[in-house]
Amino acid sequence: MFDDRYTLAYKSYPYEKSPDQDIDAPVRHPVVVMGGGPIGVATALDLGRQGIPVVVLDDHEGIGMGSRAICFAKRCLEVADRYGCGEPMLEKGVVWNLGKVFHRDDKVFEFNLLPEDGHKYPAFINLQQPYFEQYMIDRLRELQDKGAPIQLRGKNRVDSIEVHDDHVTLKVMTPDGPYTLEADWLIGCDGANSPLRGMLGLDFSGRVFQDSFLIADIKLKGDLNFPTERWFWFEPTHGSGASALLHKQPDDVWRIDFQIGWDVDRKEELKEENIRRRLDAMLGDVDYEMVWSSIYTFQCKRMDSFRSGRVFFAGDAAHQVSPFGARGANSGMQDVDNLGWKLGLVIQGKAPESLLDTYDTERVHGADENILNSTRSTDFITPKSETSQIFRDAVLSLSGTYEFARPMVNSGRLSVPCVYSESGLNSADALAGGPERTQPGAPCPDAPLGDEYLLSKLGDEFILLTIDAEAPEILEEDGITARRLALSTRDDPTGQLRKRYLGEASSAVYLIRPDQHVAARRAEYNETLMRTALRRAAGKEVSQ
DSSP E strand stretches across 221-338: 230-234, 243-249, 253-259, 288-303, 307-308, 311-313, 319-320
From the CA atom positions of the chain, what is the Rg in Å? 24
Q: Nearest CA to 512 among 449, 452, 439? A: 439
pLDDT, residue 325, reads 55
Interatomic CA distance for residues 131 and 527, integer angstroms: 46
Q: For the segment 84-132, what is each residue's pLDDT rounded down to a tens digit?
A: 999 999 999 999 878 888 988 888 888 887 777 899 999 889 999 999 9
Interatomic CA distance for residues 84 and 459, integer angstroms: 11
Cα angle value 513/149/65 (rounded, 5°): 90
Which of the two residues, 459 and 407, has the higher pLDDT score?
459
Q: For the segment 17-75, what is each residue's pLDDT rounded down to a tens digit?
A: 999 999 999 999 999 999 999 999 999 999 999 999 999 999 999 998 887 888 899 99
Using DSSP's 3-state secondary structure scheme, residue 265 falls into coil
pLDDT, residue 369, reads 87
pLDDT, residue 388, reads 84
CA 70 to chain centroid, in Å, comes to: 12
Q: Within 10 Å of residue 146's Cβ, how many Cβ atoms?
A: 8
Mean pLDDT of 393-413: 83
Highest average pLDDT, of 159-173, 312-326, 529-543, comes from 159-173
**One-letter amino acid identity for 7?**
T
List Cβ neighbours of 187 (8 Å cut-off, separation of 6 or more): 31, 32, 33, 34, 40, 43, 311, 312, 313, 314, 339
Does 543 have pLDDT greater than 60? no
Does 442 have pLDDT greater than 70? yes
For the CA atoms of 396, 397, 398, 400, what is the dihedral angle to 10 degrees?
Answer: 80
Interatomic CA distance for residues 281 and 275, integer angstroms: 10
Report pTM. Answer: 0.94
* Structure letter (DSSP) for residue 39: H
List Cβ neighbours of 487 (8 Å cut-off, separation of 6 or more): 449, 454, 465, 466, 467, 468, 497
* Structure letter (DSSP) for residue 446: P
Among the listed ranges 124-133, 223-232, 333-342, 352-361, which one has the minimum average pLDDT value?
223-232
Mean pLDDT of 243-263: 90
Among the listed ranges 215-229, 295-309, 527-541, which one has the minimum average pLDDT value?
215-229
Per-chain mean pLDDT for the chain: 92
172-180, long-range: CB < 8 A, 24+ apart? 172/57, 173/1, 173/2, 174/15, 174/17, 174/21, 175/1, 175/2, 175/15, 176/17, 176/21, 177/21, 179/18, 179/20, 179/21, 179/26, 180/26
Q: Within 10 Å of residue 263's Cβ, how many Cβ atoms?
A: 8
> Where do the H-state alpha helices sit in 465-509?
496-501
SS3 assignment for 196-209: HHHHCCCCEEEEEE
Q: For the segment 292-320, what is each residue's pLDDT rounded down to a tens digit?
A: 999 988 778 999 999 999 999 999 999 98
List Cβ neighbours of 437 (8 Å cut-off, separation of 6 or more): 445, 500
Mean pLDDT of 441-458: 95
Cα angle value 12/54/538 (rounded, 5°): 130
Q: Decide if 121 contacts 25 (C-beta within 8 A).
A: no
Q: How does strand 452-453 pair with strand 448-449?
A: antiparallel
Mean pLDDT of 433-461: 96
DSSP E strand stretches across 127-176: 150-153, 157-163, 168-174
pLDDT, residue 5, reads 78
Using DSSP's 3-state secondary structure scheme, residue 418 falls into coil
Does 529 have pLDDT greater than 90? yes
Q: For the segment 60-91, what is each residue's pLDDT rounded down to a tens digit?
A: 999 988 878 888 999 999 999 999 999 999 99
pLDDT, residue 544, reads 45
Does 375 have pLDDT greater than 80? no
> Where do the H-state alpha helices sit in 221-355?
266-269, 272-283, 328-347
pLDDT, residue 230, reads 87
Interatomic CA distance for residues 169 and 179, integer angstroms: 11
Q: Decide if 388 contacts 333 (C-beta within 8 A).
A: no
Interatomic CA distance for residues 413 and 372, integer angstroms: 10
What does the chain come to in residues?
A: 544
pLDDT, residue 501, reads 98
Interatomic CA distance for residues 38 and 63, integer angstroms: 9
Mean pLDDT of 352-363: 97
Q: How confident is the model at residue 414 (pLDDT cuts 50, 70, 90)?
A: low
Does 505 have pLDDT greater than 70? yes
Interatomic CA distance for residues 395 and 397, integer angstroms: 5
Mean pLDDT of 181-203: 96
